[in-house]
Amino acid sequence: MSSYNAVLARNTENAPKDLGPYSQTVAFSHYNNFSAQLPVDPKTGKLVSGGIKEQAEQCLKNIKSIVDSINHVMNDVVRITVFVKNIKDLDAVDEIYKSYFPTYVPARTIAAVAALPMDALVQVEALISNGEGTIPNEPQTGDLIKLTNNSPNAPMNVLSTQTVAFSHYNNLSAQLPVDPISGKLVTGGVKEQTVQCLKNIKAILNSIDVSFDDIVKINIFIKNISDINSVNEVYTTFFPDSSIARAAAYLPARTIIAVSALPLDALVQIEAVVSHGDGTPPQAVEDRHGLIIEANNTVNAPISSSHTQTVAFSHYNHLSAQLPLDPKTGVLVSGGVKEQTQQCLKNIKTIVESIDHTLDDVVKVNIFLKHISDIGSVDAVYTTFFPDGVPARRIVGVPELPHDALIQIDVVVANEEGTPPKA
């Protein structure tokens, strides 16, 4: 990538450093991508003493320190993701959370996972707006604004906004299978719950006059990995949504994450990242279809009928999660976690290179591990692909993975040239 629009990695002494081969925040274009913050005291490098409240406080203090260090404020947070070890701790986390977002609340996702690094009880991750962009010596407009929206046709929550738009993306809060009229989980099993999650997403998008086919990335949090087929059965009735998308066989990039528990004891929860063709005012309004979604698959990486390997829009490429599958056989590679990590990253590298980018353009890496104790082995391989430790990163332990894999990785990649208008 040339230096015209640069990947900018930054670290501050006021937040934990040297916990792994990653940067605290990586900015590109109009977003800052933060590494997930653990409840670690930056002075000692150790977990803070106390319980869930003390740990949640420290996670958010670390995020605020990073935000302050890049001359932003907490109201510039667009999305928050909270991973807890025990879903019953959610009320205690929310008590602390309210003090950091007393008026404005970002989009939010919450899930309980099997394990977190350092045996933490909570981990918090943030996506931050970046009004000035990252063009060296030529700042982009500094007056972009966030657009927040809530619709009565989807479930509302006082601690999250249904969708927060900034620049060319809408970031939706994860949708639970909640009936917006009753505020309760819908009756039935995982199929009925999946339908409701997707209906809620569609209602939110309709409320901001955005097409369902403008979704570029879907993250599905699922209680039982064995429910994937049932979820897919419903999923394919929603995607593709329009005749144009059906003609192009368009499907968003996708990641499936097995979790230990979800709010309200739901079986499934779905999160979406959506294109925003006209930007956020007071930027000059573009033609709604001036920017295009570019979907790409290469035969040199595993291909799936349920998702696209990478979907680009504006200045970002969103990759589907990569499992340690040999693209020639479609079978899990032999060996242990090191070999599986190698294959995941090889698949990612292949996809990135197929769209004329390099691993230096990766701004965020999300790693899902069957055994959290494998972090050291993963890092031994990871650093051969990212020797400078530039991307921001998240690691969570999950109860299981598709194909009974030990690891799954997805990434977000910078897209310097943006996605130009159709000829």
First to last CA, the chain: 24
Instruction: Return left, alpha or beta for 389; rule: phi > 0 is left, psi -120 to 50 is alpha, else beta.
Output: left
Rg (CA), the chain: 20
Angle, CA of 36, 417 and 71, to the nearest 5°: 40
Looking from the CA of 138 toward its CB, the CA atoms found within 13 Å total 5
Regarding whether 211 and 130 lie in a shared domain, the answer is no
Counting the structural domains of the chain, the total is: 3
Regarding whether 183 and 318 lie in a shared domain, the answer is no
Regarding whether 283 and 295 lie in a shared domain, the answer is no
For the domain that residue 6 is a member of, what is the CATH number? 3.30.1330.40
Regarding whether 422 and 364 lie in a shared domain, the answer is yes
Regarding whether 233 and 190 lie in a shared domain, the answer is yes
Which residues form the domain of 336?
291-423
Q: Digits of tens for pLDDT over the chain (423 positions)?
A: 444 678 999 999 999 998 999 999 999 999 999 999 999 999 999 999 999 999 999 999 999 999 999 999 999 999 999 999 999 999 999 999 999 999 999 999 999 999 999 999 999 999 999 987 887 766 555 678 899 999 999 999 999 999 999 999 999 999 999 999 999 999 999 999 999 999 999 999 999 999 999 999 999 999 999 999 999 999 999 999 888 888 888 999 999 999 999 999 999 999 999 998 878 877 665 554 567 899 999 999 999 999 999 999 999 999 999 999 999 999 999 999 999 999 999 999 999 999 999 999 999 999 999 999 999 999 999 999 999 999 999 999 999 999 999 999 999 999 977 777 765
The predicted structure's pLDDT at residue 334: 97
Regarding whether 396 and 338 lie in a shared domain, the answer is yes
Contact 22, 389 (CB under 8 A): yes
Q: How far apart are CA 135 and CA 127, in angstroms?
A: 19
Regarding whether 328 and 218 lie in a shared domain, the answer is no
Regarding whether 390 and 357 lie in a shared domain, the answer is yes
Domain boundary among 257, 287, 317: 287
Q: How far apart are CA 72 and CA 378, in angstroms?
A: 33
Burial 249-262 (b: 16+ CB within 10 A, else e): ebbbbbbbbbbbbb
Closest by CA to 391, choosing from 417, 366, 373, is 366
Regarding whether 383 and 275 lie in a shared domain, the answer is no
Regarding whether 87 and 23 lie in a shared domain, the answer is yes
Closest by CA to 213, choosing from 171, 167, 248, 161, is 248
Contact 360, 369 (CB under 8 A): no
Other CB atoms within 10 Å distance of the CB of residue 231: 23
Q: How far apart are CA 174 and CA 160, in angstroms?
A: 10
Regarding whether 214 and 77 lie in a shared domain, the answer is no
Q: Considering the entire predicted model, what is its pTM?
A: 0.96
Domain boundary among 97, 120, 142: 142
Regarding whether 323 and 232 lie in a shared domain, the answer is no
Contact 180, 216 (CB under 8 A): no
Domain boundary among 103, 123, 142: 142
